[in-house]
Homo-oligomer: A and B are copies of this chain.
Amino acid sequence: METSMKLSPVPELLASAVIARLSALAPLDQEEIGAIQSAARLARHHRQHREVQVDRQSARQFLMLSGWACQARTFADGRRQILNLLLPGDLFSTVRQYEPTTDSAIVTFTDAVTCAAPMISPEAERPGLADAYLRSRALREAYLFRHIARLGRLNALERMADWLLEIRERLNLAGLADGARFPLPLTQEALGDTLGLTSVHVNRTLQAMRREGLIDLRSGTVVLLDPDSMASLVSYHPVSIPG
């Protein structure tokens, strides 16, 4: 409960992941960074395992300031599939894709903080921010494609390896990975819902990776002990958005 409901403790720090990520995607000028920081001052706090409700009147797009969340689809019989992971620094929107309420929603894994994404209304005035949003959306699509290929064609070990490498890459962009070490605040059941596996098999897969000396995973933090051999296992290449 360290992320309490009190208002914005130091907005500069709160927005650091967003600023790191977006300015890695496109250079931002001082005014643009200021716009993000003011937006972060109107942050919304979300407790863990809650559905994220944002009012679509205020904005079309939002920023994850901190915490982990996901878009997930739940089937009638309880099966669940995580569609898209939301990490600190990510830009997201809240289109309800399917009809009924059980279908698709944004749910937090941890306590999280979001805010409306600063608008880019006068077209030419904030070229960096517009460009960063554009690239952020392109990245998002690249990761959706990777997710599809992973679920369709990789086995459990490969899925896990590919996914861990992706998460490191994404956290790294937001300045949240320390080399090959990064936080992983998901239960094995949530991992299963992400990778299309049962939690039991996630457990066995993680055990296998530990035995092979590929990872060290303890108390919500993972270290990739041999990222290179993991990458060659699934011929992993970092995504790169041209032009």
Contacts and interface: CB of A to CB of B under 8 A. Distances in A.
A71 B104 contact: no
A125 interface: no
A97 B153 contact: no
Interface of A: 71, 73, 75-76, 79-84, 95-100, 103-104, 138, 141-142, 144-149, 151-153, 193, 195-196, 234-235, 237-242
Q: A84, A103, A138, A147 — which one has the most chain B CB atoms within 10 A of its CB?
A: A147
Contacts of A148: 81, 83, 144, 147-148, 151
Given A79-B153, A148-B83, A103 B242 contact: no
Contact of A151 (B138, B196, B241): B196
Contacts of A99: 237-238, 240
Contacts of A97: 141-142, 145-146, 239
30 contacts: A73-B145, A73-B149, A75-B149, A75-B235, A79-B153, A80-B153, A81-B149, A83-B145, A83-B148, A95-B138, A95-B142, A95-B241, A97-B145, A97-B146, A98-B142, A98-B237, A98-B239, A99-B238, A99-B240, A100-B237, A103-B237, A144-B148, A147-B148, A148-B148, A148-B151, A151-B151, A151-B152, A152-B193, A152-B195, A152-B196
